[in-house]
Structure 1
Amino acid sequence: MTTPMNPAALNAALMRECIDACLTCLKACENCAAACLQEPELQMFRDCIRLDRDCADACDLTARLLLRGSDMHPDACRMCAQACAACAAECERHAHHHEHCRVCAEACRACEAACRKLAA
């Protein structure tokens, strides 16, 4: 029989999950932006690059606030989830032809979900 996890341990587990998701998403967004800059149709990727960079910054800030146990983390998580949703939607437009966009969209959706769960 398993014992139920206490609220403090559950919150710590959710925070670790969110930090990991933020760092994974940060890396995917930076990789996607760099790859988009190498695409021959650069103008087509302008919004993708902008959203990749915004999302990467949101993920970085959120991970840092979570790591230091800041009381601002719920607001940061909500902001990060919004940035991830916007970035994922844009990357999904290109995902069928560009692996970097597919990987980024998946990381963004996972981070969005982790941030929304923690902010709730």
Structure 2
Amino acid sequence: MPVKDWPEDSIEAGITQCVAACDALVKVSEDCADACLAIEGDGEVTACFLADLDCVEICITTTRVLSWHTRNNGPTAISILETCREASQVSAAACERMKAIHPSWQTCSMACRRVGDSCTRLLAVLRHSAG
């Protein structure tokens, strides 16, 4: 998979982009989780709240691991990127379900997708460099 917008498909650029996406998602996911607490609801509210919190924690951990393992394509970095991508997909899906129930809901779905895309792109670069 070609990685556009990154000079020479560099790992450093991928890490920078992924960390920035994770940091942005942490901010909006915390706001989204807080909004969940402000409304009465059913299991969808709880699911969204927990998915947001999970995503926040995974993104924070991903940022730390990537910062510690610059230029590292080891199994820990790859595993956390895969986990982060999955957590962001779960959070996006939960927020989209909330938006269907509450049309005025401000979701963090777009930020979740940016994290998922950044993780996917960095995984491709790391796997290519390990090849």
TM-score by length of 1: 0.84
- Superposed displacement of residue 94, structure 1: 2.1
Residue segments in structure 1 that go unaligned for 5+ positions in a row: none
Task: Please list every run of at least 4 consecutive aligned residues from structure 1 whose deviation after the TM superposition is greater than 3 angstroms.
Answer: 4-7
C-alpha contact (below 8 Å) 2:51/2:90 kept by paired residues: yes
Deviation at 1:42, TM superposition (A): 5.8
Cα displacement string for residues 38-68 of structure 1 (whole angstroms, at most 9, x for unaligned residues): 1133654010001011111110100011111
Unpaired segments ≥5 residues, structure 2: 1-5, 125-131
Structure 2: distance between partners of 1:33 and 1:63: 20
Counterpart selection for 1:97 from 104, 108, 114: 104
Q: What amino acid does structure 2 have at the position aligned with 1:78?
A: E
Partner of 2:85: 81
> How do residues 25-36 of structure 1 correspond to structure 2 at under 5 angstroms?
25-36=25-36
Q: Residue 5 of structure 1: CA displacement?
A: 3.9
- Is the contact made by 2:65 and 2:77 (CA closer than 8 Å) also made in structure 1? yes
Identify the residue that residue 121 of structure 2 maps to in structure 1.
117
1:47-86 superposed matches below 5 A: 47-69=47-69, 71=74, 72-86=76-90
CA contact (8 A) 1:75 1:119 kept: no
* Aligned equivalent of 1:13: 13
Q: How many residues align?
A: 112
